Structure 1
Amino acid sequence: MKAVLHDVYGPPEVLRVEETDRPVPAEGEVLVRVHAAGVDPGVWHLTSGLPYLIRAAGFGLRAPKQRIRGLAVSGQVDTVGPGVTRFRPGDEVYGIAAGAFAEYACAKADRLAHRPANLTHAQSAAVPVSGPTALQAVRDAGRLKPGQRVLVIGAAGGVGTFAVQIAKALGAHVTGVCSTGKADLIRSLGADEVIDHTRTDVTDGGRRYDLVLDIAGNRPLALLRRTLTLDGTLVIVGGENGGRWTGGSGRQVRALLLSLFLRQRLRGLMASEHHADLDTLTGLIESGEVTPVLDRTYPLAEAPQAVNDLMAGRSRGKLVIQVRGD
């Protein structure tokens, strides 16, 4: 089969398409015939080996243990491994599969769900990483209640576009923060207000929110606290400017420690992967309350360009690798 793989850490250009062996599902796994795969910041981190903390976490100190990149997948069940009863060959699924940038990928059955009936495979592949992250940030870490005021910083990105819609579906008043050219997109997703960060400093203390989501940002905690009510909640989702050793995780740790001494809740999010959240998102998608924002697709051979475009901020919503037609 064809797959996007690499043997050394480095920029996206180290990724290449080659023929490799088709994986075989182990106990509790499913072999997915991949139609499309989402492009997420995690792909860049695992390609570059940065921050160095991820290498120590088991992904390979000197070289990547998992040679094939990609996580979010949409496709069709080819075969099931021993012990799998939730799926059978032919089922349309989406979820998390290590090595999704390939014609076939193995996934743990508990990280897959039946994909939404009203989406294409390309749209479905945009959901499994960003959608659950947004859901957990709003519902779990943020403890959102109907009627609360929510500020989504980074509203036009993959996680942000889902967060705006999920917060609205849960009954919040939503303000999205983005650049000038993306304001119309955020309004179309249901945001009650949009702030252009190139013209307005959202941390000037002029407005206060019950919940603030800081997505892939790097603003100091002291400034972000100025956007919160006295007992408001800040949820930090990712962050790309924390240095080569720990990345954005240092700011999340500082937020948690500082929160011990405040009425305000400061939280970092480490999103988990489970089919239950995908099932919840399927319901929201099929009801029309949430729609993945698919910017554009790339063929398998252009995976390096897709990763470059994502990390350079050249996207509105999600980028997807189209492996097969829908």
Structure 2
Amino acid sequence: MKAIVFTKYGSTEVLKLKEVEKPSPEENEVLVKVYAASTNPLDWRFMKAKPFLARLENGIRKPKNTRLGADIAGRIEAVGSKVTQFKPGDEVFGEKFETGLGGFAEYASVPENSLTLKPNNLTFELAAAVPLAALTSLQGLRNEGQIQSGQKVLINGASGGLGTFAVQIAKAIGTEVTGVCSTRNLDMVRSIGADHVIDYTKQDFTRTGIQYDLIFDTVGNRSVSDLNRTLKSNGICTVAGFTNMARLMETSLKGKWVSRAGNKKIGMMKTVHTNKDDLLFLKELLEAGKVIPVIDRSYPLSETAEAIRYLETGRARGKVIITIV
């Protein structure tokens, strides 16, 4: 089968479309014929090994896992001997983040608990946009942000892959949502449900005088002091992205100090975990039309390098998709 492979760290030039062995599912896995996949920032971070800590996980000098791609949507071709939830022919979506990536390929073996049935109202491309970004947004808002109906919630980076899901999930939970984005994305962020929008090119959301119960920061470009000033008493800020190591370390270390010293909590989000119940919850939101994936561009598998180059610019509205079939 064809798959995207990288055997050394570097820019997108290290990505090659190659013929590799078609996987065989283990007893608790299914073999999925992949119709669409989705790019995520983790793809270019693993590809470049940035931050350097990524090398501790995937090899110091060269990558041990030479594949990329966490999100997939497709049709099941075969099932392992202990699989009970699916059968060949089922249309599914899910992710391979915790099982070694490999979604940028014609086939992928995936544990059955990392998948759920694809909503009938979504194409494969739309379904592939969902798993990692939507799970991250859901778990960041709910598990760490302790989101509650009636709260005032701010999403920094509301037009990106995480942000577009966070806005819609927060609205579905019953909160008042403010989205922060650039001028060209204001109308789009309003269209997906934001009650208020702030154009960061014209206004600093940390200096409006408005405070929020919950801030979900998908960018990670603000100081802990800025975020602290913008939180209400007992407010929570969960940071799910970072612009550089210095900002990551500041959020991690100074955020802990602020959280211990006062009545506000600021910190980096913990790693997202594949969760069958969460996938089913997202499926219900998708089927009800309460969450609609936003796709900026689609690229064929052979142009995966170009797709990741575009994602790296930080200008993508919503998700960037890889079409396999």
TM-score interval w.r.t. the shorter chain?
A: over 0.9
Q: 1:108 to 1:148 in 2, by over 3 A?
A: same
Q: Secondary structure at the match of 2:120?
A: coil
2:26 aligned residue? 26
2:85 aligned residue? 86
Q: 1:283 to 1:249 in 2, by over 3 A?
A: farther
2:272 aligned residue? 271
- Give the letter aligned to residue 4 of structure 1: I
Q: Secondary structure at the match of 2:197?
A: strand
* Structure 2 residue 166 is the aligned partner of structure 1 residue 163: yes
Map 1:80-119 onto structure 2 (within 5 A): 80-97=79-96, 98-119=101-122
Cα deviation for residue 163 of structure 1 reads: 0.4
Question: What CA deviation, in whole Å up to 9, does each residue of 1:274-325 have, x standing for no partner?
Answer: 222111000001011110001111001111111111110231100000001x
Q: Secondary structure at the match of 1:226?
A: helix
Q: Secondary structure at the match of 1:102?
A: coil
2:293 aligned residue? 292
CA contact (8 A) 1:93 1:113 kept: yes
Structure 1 CA distance for aligned equivalents of residues 117 and 53 of structure 2: 34
1:318 aligned residue? 319
Which of 63-72 and 173-182 deviates more?
A: 63-72
Structure 2 CA distance for aligned equivalents of residues 257 and 116 of structure 1: 43
Structure 2 CA distance for aligned equivalents of residues 41 and 105 of structure 1: 20
Q: 1:81 to 1:248 in 2, by over 3 A?
A: farther
Q: Secondary structure at the match of 1:34?
A: strand
Structure 1 CA distance for aligned equivalents of residues 231 and 188 of structure 2: 25
Q: 1:250 to 1:7 in 2, by over 3 A?
A: farther
Higher helix share: 2
Cα deviation for residue 79 of structure 1 reads: 1.1
Map 1:112-131 onto structure 2 (within 5 A): 112-131=115-134
CA contact (8 A) 1:73 1:96 kept: yes
2:62 aligned residue? 63
Q: 1:253 to 1:73 in 2, by over 3 A?
A: farther
2:179 aligned residue? 176
Structure 1 CA distance for aligned equivalents of residues 108 and 7 of structure 2: 18
Structure 1 CA distance for aligned equivalents of residues 65 and 180 of structure 2: 36
- Give the letter aligned to residue 86 of structure 2: F
Q: Secondary structure at the match of 2:119?
A: coil
Cα deviation for residue 103 of structure 1 reads: 0.2
Cα deviation for residue 203 of structure 1 reads: 1.0
* Structure 2 residue 138 is the aligned partner of structure 1 residue 135: yes
- Give the letter aligned to residue 239 of structure 1: F
Aligned length: 320
Q: Secondary structure at the match of 1:139?
A: helix
CA contact (8 A) 1:112 1:274 kept: no
Q: Scaled by the length of structure 2, what TM-score is found?
A: 0.95
Structure 2 CA distance for aligned equivalents of residues 126 and 206 of structure 1: 35
Question: What CA deviation, in whole Å up to 9, does each residue of 1:87-146 have, x standing for no partner?
Answer: 111111111132000000111111111111110000000001100111111122111111
Cα deviation for residue 257 of structure 1 reads: 4.2
Cα deviation for residue 152 of structure 1 reads: 0.4
CA contact (8 A) 2:168 2:193 kept: yes
CA contact (8 A) 2:224 2:250 kept: no
Cα deviation for residue 52 of structure 1 reads: 1.6
Q: 1:87 to 1:252 in 2, by over 3 A?
A: farther
Gapped runs of 5+ residues in structure 2? none
Cα deviation for residue 253 of structure 1 reads: 4.5
1:281 aligned residue? 282
Cα deviation for residue 15 of structure 1 reads: 0.4
- Give the letter aligned to residue 207 of structure 2: D
Structure 1 CA distance for aligned equivalents of residues 65 and 32 of structure 2: 17
Which of 265-274 and 17-26 deviates more?
A: 265-274
Cα deviation for residue 205 of structure 1 reads: 5.1
Structure 1 CA distance for aligned equivalents of residues 66 and 149 of structure 2: 44
- Give the letter aligned to residue 266 of structure 1: I
RMSD (Å) for aligned C-alpha atoms: 1.4
Gapped runs of 5+ residues in structure 1? none
Question: What CA deviation, in whole Å up to 9, does each residue of 1:22-56 have, x standing for no partner?
Answer: 01112311111000000000111111111121221
2:17 aligned residue? 17
Cα deviation for residue 231 of structure 1 reads: 1.3
